[in-house]
Structure 1
Amino acid sequence: MSTVTRNAIANFIGKIWSTALGLAVIPLYIKLLGVESYGLVGVFGSLQAIMGLLDLGMQPTVNRELARLSALDPSAAARPMRELVRTFAVVFACVGLVSGLLVLAGSPLLATHWIRAERLPAGTVVRAVGIMGVILAMQWPSSIFLGGLMSLQQQVRANQILMLIGTLRSLGALFVIRFVSPTIEAFFLTQAMASAAQTALTGLALTRALPRTDERVGFRLQVLRDHWRFAAGMLGIAVLSVILTQADKLIVTGSLSLKQVGYYSIATAVANALYNLSAPIGAACYPRLIQLATLGDEEQLKDFYHRSCQTIAVIIIPVAAVISALSSHVLFAWTGSRDTATHAHLVLSMLIIGTCCNGLMNLPVSLQIAHGWTRLVVTINVCAIAVIVPLELYGARRFGAPGAAAGWLIVNASYVVSVVQLMHRRLLKGEQWRWYLSDVLLPGAGAVLVALAASFAPAPSTRLGALALVAAVYAVAASVAVASAPVSREMIRARLFRRLRPSSPL
């Protein structure tokens, strides 16, 4: 089994575990805390993304440089790798502290002027936002440690840690709000403790994974000077990406009631689960893309790129198609609430399609970053922001939450049309049509048709009936996608050939 395959499997297991566990406990959180309190969890996600801008492009810079150095002789790479991690870890710890203090100090202002609570007391919201600041400070350094483990292809270890911490986050919070204190403050305090544990464990794991050296290693300002250009480009991408991915949520939070934010957060949780299916493949493939780009092996890079893109399409398109077409049934089967399904199904349909388009762009964007080329994504994002933010503002005020969700769909669909065309004029020239036809259309068309046909089926009257319908339609759609994709057909043929091939005589 190749390193990439092993890492992809580890990433899948980790993501599936955390996603399944998260989706399982959300209905219980809502039952114990209420939809309005759960809306604060969605607020924290947006706040976390905004404060992530203080990363200043450093995390992807460290990830790329560690992956590049890992292709060199370990004895020569040991000192620069350890200096890189040590230097950026110090910076990350300081930035995490600053971000946490900013949120803590600004919690009264955020609670009264941005968040529109109807039933929750103002003091509860202020305390909850303040604890969010503590969580940010606790978990900030873990991002560089996790990224380092991923870049060194230590993704099995990284996912073991994430699964452990994810279990503590989900079940620990559930235990606390069920048996200790059924408050949103208790929920966030549990998350803060889990974040501290994550930072400690990932830091220790990365230290052990780096090549050993007898030379003294410490903070070096020159390391920051050497990498500021790439970091600046990644910062530009990060700023624009945060605006594009969080604009709808920020607008919903500032324009609608906290209860409506709660429904939007529920739909977002399902949509994010789809991202968690594509992200493991992207994370496993990114270091290999960097290595192939560094070695200049374009033929092997081309083959690896297309096979990876097809794999993502086979996995996420059937899921997105079924959830979009049967969104009301999915929400009812999951939460058991007709009210939630009524309020959130249209938002979910649009968010899941946009997230699917976003997932399909994972490898094309990774290919650009692997080559150190950030200008295209920055330019496209600037143009998108100029259109999408005003559109989402108008949509939210005119049509409510579905109007904001439409912006997410539009921006990601536009990426599929524009970025791939422009990218393949410079990288892997002329490969765009193979991407559209073989990597996306062949795996996806049949699955979409199956889901659309199923949307005309009578609505089930029970949760079990809704679950059975969704599961059956997905099984058919996924089978069609697997049978249609060149990469999966090739794998099936190879396995059948090995099984049917006669054994050599003794």
Structure 2
Amino acid sequence: MVRNVAINFIGLILPTFVSLATVPAYIRLVGVERYGVISLVWTLIGYFSILDLGMSMAAQHQIAKAHAAGDADRRARVFWSAVWLNFATGVIGGLSIYFGAFLYTAYVAHSAPALQHEVYRALPWLALAIPIANVSWVFAGAINAMERFGVYNANQTVGTFLFQLLPLGAACFIAPNLQTVIAAAVVARLLAALLLARASFRLLGIRRVDWPQRRVAGGLFRFGGWMLVSSITTMLTDSLDRVLLGAHLGARFVTYYTVPQNLVTRLNMFPNAMVRTLFPRLSAIERGDAHSMVATSLQFLNGVFTPLALFAMLALEPFLHVWIGSDLAVASAPVGRILVIAVWLVGQASVTRILIQSQIDPATAARAGLCQLPFFVALLWYGIERFGPVGAASVVALRSLVDYTVLLWMSRVRAKPIALDMLAHLAFLIAGLVLAYLIDAVNHPVQTIAAALLLALANVEWSLLTRPAVRALASALTQKFIERIQSHLKARSDA
């Protein structure tokens, strides 16, 4: 499990570096306005991920169960039913985006006539991207259901490189216009989809094409529908803070909030890697084993993620001063420090949520999010009205704590030891928050980093002393590392 978490973590990090490296080249080649249109196009396609209707997660859940039972025929039935359903919804989405983008460009967007013409010529490619993306998610879900995360991330990384570099090459060697860049990007998506398809066919032993089955499709819709509700609720709660902040205080305060938020949410990659690893395994095992696995996973998450969060909290302000300048850093740092706690709590809640989705009922987790939403909006409104961006961040952190508490109660696990472990690590984070306010990080950066390291080490020591599972895991990993070093040294001496 640790190896799979590491593989998924690396798979989440690599695309970030590739994107950062290619953005300046894109802007230089196609210009600021065209790059803005391209960014809006892929954001729009991201919104159309709603057309997946939760099918990829539902397929992953069902395929993992069938694989654990050794039922290859059921695996194939689930796979093809999900593929055809997602292809159908993707075609509908492609037609919608074609006509919708045409009307938007013609009557709403204020673009030069030449740029509008480029958009019109790119629309067929844009429409084609939706069904390709929809079907790709099923292929990815099938591979993850088999817990072959190395295969998935290797193919995904190749696909990311293609998606970033092929359009760049097309802009450089063919023409730096929208239709060329978007066409190359869609071709890259198609090649990535074919790679994922080949891998999923091989892993599932697919030998022929089958049609969807009504009973299987109904089960996928029931499970996937509630997963979709959870996704929509999460999308709303993730964006409401910025929307309400802009409506109350204006764009300047949104910048104070968004800059640290975009930076801090990068920490989510580690719990996301754990969730990706755990979901198929939890779908396949018995309830008692699932509870034990989640309890151990939360201990592991606390033991690894809390020191990272502590270091990020204390190092945030000096980094912001170097990255964006003193004026913006002074306003953004207090917000970012509170959001570190919010991100940490979201990671805890995510693990508990997938236990409910895989073992109990996805409807339970979805209803929990829906019931909290109106209270969150009311508190967010009050927090922004009274305390501005810091108030918004505090409400987001409070909502994350409530969400985690509710999900832990609904998960039917032995909640007391898990909650006590969480509260102990939360106390370290609050201590780090107080320390960050007391230390002048800008004028004493060395002392700040030293304090961050000491507090992180104290948290690691606490985990090792109080949690036998973390201690055993650390011991096993250390032993394996020593054995590999010894084996490498022996091989060198023999050579």
Q: What TM-score does the superposition give when structure 1 sets the normalisation length?
A: 0.75
Choose from 67, 71, 83 the match for 1:70.
Answer: 67
Deviations 1:347-398 (A, max 9, x none): 4334333222111112111110112413332232222211223444566678
* 1:206 counterpart residue number: 200
Structure 1 CA distance, aligned partners of 2:207 and 2:334?
Answer: 56
| Change in 2 beyond 3 A, CA 1:232/1:497 | closer
Larger Rg: 2
Alignment of 1:291-302 (within 5 A): 291-293=284-286, 296=287, 298=288, 300-302=289-291
Structure 2 CA distance, aligned partners of 1:94 and 1:259?
Answer: 40
Say if 1:255 and 1:396, in contact at 8 Å, map to a contact too: yes
Shift of 1:15: 1.9
What is the aligned length? 475
The AA in structure 1 aligned to 2:142 is: G
Alignment of 1:139-218 (within 5 A): 139-168=133-162, 194-213=188-207, 217-218=210-211
Structure having the higher helix fraction is 2
| Change in 2 beyond 3 A, CA 1:350/1:456 | closer
* 1:504 counterpart residue number: none
Alignment of 1:61-460 (within 5 A): 61-98=58-95, 100-101=97-98, 104-105=101-102, 107-108=104-105, 138-168=132-162, 194-213=188-207, 217-251=210-244, 265-293=258-286, 296=287, 298=288, 300-333=289-322, 335-342=323-330, 344-392=332-380, 404-420=392-408, 422-424=409-411, 427-428=412-413, 431-438=414-421, 440-446=422-428, 448-450=430-432, 452-460=434-442
* 2:490 counterpart residue number: none
Shift of 1:153: 0.9
| Change in 2 beyond 3 A, CA 1:167/1:243 | same
CA RMSD of aligned residues (A): 4.6
348-357 or 35-44, which deviates more: 35-44
| Change in 2 beyond 3 A, CA 1:492/1:162 | same
Q: What TM-score does the superposition give when structure 2 sets the normalisation length?
A: 0.77
Say if 2:201 and 2:207, in contact at 8 Å, map to a contact too: no
SS at match of 2:262: helix
Shift of 1:418: 2.4
93-102 or 156-165, which deviates more: 93-102
Structure 2 CA distance, aligned partners of 1:328 and 1:187?
Answer: 38
Structure 1 CA distance, aligned partners of 2:176 and 2:386?
Answer: 36
Structure 2 CA distance, aligned partners of 1:275 and 1:304?
Answer: 20
* 2:488 counterpart residue number: none
Say if 2:19 and 2:164, in contact at 8 Å, map to a contact too: yes
Say if 2:4 and 2:277, in contact at 8 Å, map to a contact too: yes
* 2:6 counterpart residue number: 9
The AA in structure 2 aligned to 1:322 is: F
Deviations 1:162-211 (A, max 9, x none): 22333455677888999999999998787656544433332332222222
The AA in structure 2 aligned to 1:86 is: V
Structure 2 gap segments, 5+ residues each: 484-495
Structure 2 CA distance, aligned partners of 1:454 and 1:14?
Answer: 32
Structure 2 CA distance, aligned partners of 1:344 and 1:29?
Answer: 29
191-200 or 19-28, which deviates more: 19-28
SS at match of 2:69: coil
Structure 2 CA distance, aligned partners of 1:340 and 1:137?
Answer: 42
Shift of 1:71: 0.8
Shift of 1:308: 0.8
| Change in 2 beyond 3 A, CA 1:104/1:43 | closer
The AA in structure 1 aligned to 2:419 is: Y
SS at match of 2:205: coil
410-419 or 80-89, which deviates more: 80-89
Deviations 1:68-110 (A, max 9, x none): 1111225444532443343334235325424533652464599
The AA in structure 2 aligned to 1:54 is: L
* 1:503 counterpart residue number: none
SS at match of 2:438: coil
SS at match of 1:267: helix
Structure 2 CA distance, aligned partners of 1:391 and 1:493?
Answer: 45
* 2:471 counterpart residue number: 489
Structure 1 gap segments, 5+ residues each: 501-506
The AA in structure 2 aligned to 1:284 is: T
